Structure 1
Amino acid sequence: MDNEVVACSALLQLPGIGSDPSVMMQTGLRPMRDKEKVSQLHVAESEHQLSCPNCGSGVALDSSRLAFDAQRQIEDLQAQVRLLTQKATAAVDRWADYEDELQAMRQQCASQEVARTSTPPAAIQNRLSSFLTSRKSVPNLGQKPPLPSTSPSERDLAAALSREQVLRQQAEGKLDEASGELEELSQQLFEQANEMVATERKARAKLEERVAVLERRDVEKRKRLERLEGAMGRIERVRGLLAPPGDK
Structure 2
Amino acid sequence: MNAGLGKWLKTGIFYLVLIAGAVLFIFPFYWMAVASIKTPREVFDLNLIPSEITFQSYNYMLDRIPVARSLFNSFVFAGGVTLITLVVTSMAGYALARLKFWGRDVLFSVVLLTMMIPFQLLMIPLYVIVVKLGWMNSYAGLILPISVNALGIFIFRQFFRTIPQELIDAARIDGASELQILFRVMLPLSRPAMITVAILTFMGPWNDLLWPLLVTREQEMMPLAQAATLFGLEGQGGQWGSIMAVNTLLALPVVLLYLFFQRYFIESISNTGMKG
Instruction: Verify same fold: TM over 0.5.
Output: no
**Is the radius of gyration larger for structure 1 or structure 2?**
1
Looking at secondary structure, tell me which structure has more helix per residue: 1
TM-score (norm 1): 0.24
Please report the TM-score for the alignment, with normalisation by the length of structure 2. 0.22
